[in-house]
Structure 1
Amino acid sequence: MVEWTTDDVAARFVEAVETGRRLPVVKAQGYFNVWPVFVREAWESYPDDEHVYHPLPPTPAAIDRMMETMRWVQWLEVEQRHLIWMRAKRFEWKIICRRLGCHRTTAWRAWQKALLTVATQLNASVHASHSKRPELMGQGE
């Protein structure tokens, strides 16, 4: 596999957030509605200006990538986790800076450092899996 870059890691976190938004809503079990669904006439639905947007559910592969991405945050400190997820959710830098209590450039550097930490860990695991040569496996017996 190709080496991970900070852009790849950031894109994966954004994809994880979008996948999480597309998951079905979890409701409390035990509560249900016994009323039938009303079929409204066209003229009755005119006052309803709000149209509920239901995105398509994510694919199983997208859910697997989201779960893998969520495991990556174990390599980060708590503040770095907040920063990564806030940025993946496309929070403005102004809000992120207020949360962290620092300047925008400092927040950006912390974000880049967190992404680099994850990319370094991923690249280390890729190199570790490729460094085991099959012909040397089992020689120490």
Structure 2
Amino acid sequence: MTKSHLCFLCFLFSSLNFAASQTSVDAPTMQALKSSLNLTKDVDWSNPNPCKWPTVQCDAGNKVTRIQLKTKGIRGTLPQKLQTLTELMVLELFQNRISGPIPDLSGLTRLQTLNLHDNLFDSVPKKLT
């Protein structure tokens, strides 16, 4: 194998490793969500990349498209920053003990499924009523 082939292979493998390890641009918002919720032990959100969390799905560009935390006994509130998840299509947080107001979700323009029932929310944005 020539030196140029070896250099090319090293570059290729390092590029693939970099792409695979990139953190989602939605990580700050997901960390805010994580901080605002009291997650139960069966919800493992320890990886810094939310695209690797078992209850979260992302698209090919590492944007969060789905959050499913149903019937987990979770307490806490939802952060206002949630509306910055512009590619989010499914948000299922039903049958938990999440309280406080439901934040403005107007930034979630791709949202198709919203299941928040059986929680302890005290107010709902007018746009959702």
Instruction: With the length of structure 1 as denominator, give the TM-score of the two structures.
Output: 0.27
Larger Rg over CA atoms: 1
Asked which structure has the greater RCO (Cα within 8 Å, sep 6+), the reply is 1
Larger proportion of helix: 1
Larger proportion of strand: 2
